[in-house]
A and B are shown apart, each in its own frame.
Chain A
Amino acid sequence: MLVSAHSLGYLAQAAGVTVALSLAGIAFGFVIGTLVCVARVSGGPALARLGGAYVSVFRGVPLLVLLLFIYYFLPIVGLDVPALVAAIGGLSLSSGAYQAEILRGALNGVPRGQTEAATALGYSNLDLWRRILLPQALRISIPPMINEFILLIKASSLVSVVGIAEITRVSMNIASMTYRPLEAYVAGGLFYLAINLTLAGLGGLAERRALAGAR
């Protein structure tokens, strides 16, 4: 394998960008996902429908299409979006839809009897959410959230099309500079693999902890 130390340095930097982009996507996506989930679960019928539509649209439209839409369309209506904003925006909007579903699934995963037990004991609605539902739902949602993070790391390779210097883009640059595409892309792929295996390992750890805690 002939990837120079120089190239590896670039790739390592790019890996940082990939992780940072995905973290931003997860964080903003979590805010969006929480809002959408609350709208769907305890909003009125109009809000619930809106939340449902959000999930349907942003899970249905491929991320690449979404990214190009933001990057090419918004300038037409007079909003010049920097590539970085387009990238993070696209990742967040898309991830928000998936996270909303994860959170909703986790809430459904709390047995119905728990709500009934708390109500029977005279818990207020706020206490019910704060003390009973949320702690359990968040615990349930840890493994799928880690999984979502891994998917986002992979999805972030698509922001290379708007020119952000993350792993995929840098691999393309190295490939065209060195005329060694195989080595360049395999090296880039290994960086992704390293990140994702690390995350999967952490996820396994978190899952075991969560299981132990649930006992």
Chain B
Amino acid sequence: MSWDVLLHYAPALIRGFGVTIACWASGCALGLVLGFAVALGAEAPSRALRAVLRVYVEVLRGTPFLMQLFILYAGGPSLGLRLSATTAGVLGLGLYSSAYFSEIFRGAFAAVPRGLIEAAMSVGMAPFDILARVRAPIAFVAASPPIVNTLIVMSKETVVLSIITVPELMYEMQTMAAETFTAFDAIFAMAVFYWCLVEVVSRIGRRVEKRAAAFLVSHA
């Protein structure tokens, strides 16, 4: 490991790290919001809407993230959609993760015990209140372990953004590697970085899972 090289590139790497975290956070935030909306849409009475959302989810889950990024970033201009690499990256991550999040929410909504909803209906609560006060909070708890899991998966997907030249950590590392011929150091550092990130988030995830389980089991 050549520490002086790492030190020299430290500012760029720290910037890259910031970009990685920012892309991850904003992409997943977008994905959670979109995914929640898609899960609600899947309950709509309109058959056509439900079919469209089904296709949305299947297409996004059935194709590689890299391909979706290429379509957005390289293909977008043909449709008059000119996005910067970073915007395309965040938007792409948001769309891609929304498909997974929507499935998680859909399952979590379906798992809310019917009786809890009936109790709300029996006191005359309106559908929106039942959603906001009963269904959503309970579904969120049930969904939290798979959500953490998906967040981990998405944190690894952010590496792919380097391919469309988003200046995130992997991209900066590769730049460093190309300029200094220290590919090994760079890639090794990346591996260690992601391993740590995933370990930390997984640990948090397991804790969340235990809490969620304690919360849900006791009720039944």
Contact = CB atoms under 8 A, between A and B. Distances in A.
**Is any CB of A less than 8 Å from a CB of B in the complex?**
yes
Interface of A: 56-57, 59-66, 68-69, 72-73, 76, 150, 153-158, 160-161, 167-168, 171-172, 175, 180-186, 188-189, 192-193, 196-197, 200
Interface string B151-164: 00000110110110
Nearest to B201: A60
Contact of B194 (A65, A172, A184): A65
Interface stretch (B8-16, B71-79, B103-111): B71-79
Contacts of B198: 59-60
Interface string B22-57: 000000000000000000000000000000000000
B195 A193 contact: no
A153 to B, nearest CB: 8
A72 B71 contact: no
26 contacts: A60-B199, A61-B191, A64-B162, A66-B191, A68-B183, A69-B188, A72-B177, A72-B183, A72-B184, A72-B187, A73-B183, A154-B64, A156-B64, A157-B65, A167-B67, A171-B67, A175-B70, A181-B75, A181-B78, A182-B75, A185-B74, A189-B71, A192-B64, A193-B58, A193-B59, A197-B58
B194 A171 contact: no
A158 B184 CA distance: 19
Interface string B183-205: 11001101100111111000000
B62 A193 contact: yes
Contact of A182 (B78, B162, B184): B78
Given A60-B199, A186-B71, A168 B191 contact: no
Interface residues of B, number: 39
Nearest to B160: A64
Contacts of B199: 56, 60
B163 A161 contact: yes
B67 to A, nearest CB: 5
A77 to B, nearest CB: 9
A199 B189 CA distance: 36
Nearest to A172: B70
Nearest to B181: A76
Contact of A189 (B63, B76, B78, B159): B63
A153 B77 CA distance: 28
A175 B184 CA distance: 31
A161 B187 CA distance: 14
The residue among A65, A68, A154 with the most chain B CB atoms within 10 A of its own CB is: A65
A155 B156 CA distance: 12
Nearest to B195: A60
B202 to A, nearest CB: 8
A68 B183 CA distance: 9
Contact of A192 (B62, B75, B79): B62
Contacts of A64: 159-160, 162-163, 170
Contacts of B156: 62-63
A9 to B, nearest CB: 19
A99 to B, nearest CB: 16
A65 B66 contact: no
B71 A185 contact: yes
Nearest to B157: A62
Contacts of A175: 70, 74
B112 to A, nearest CB: 24
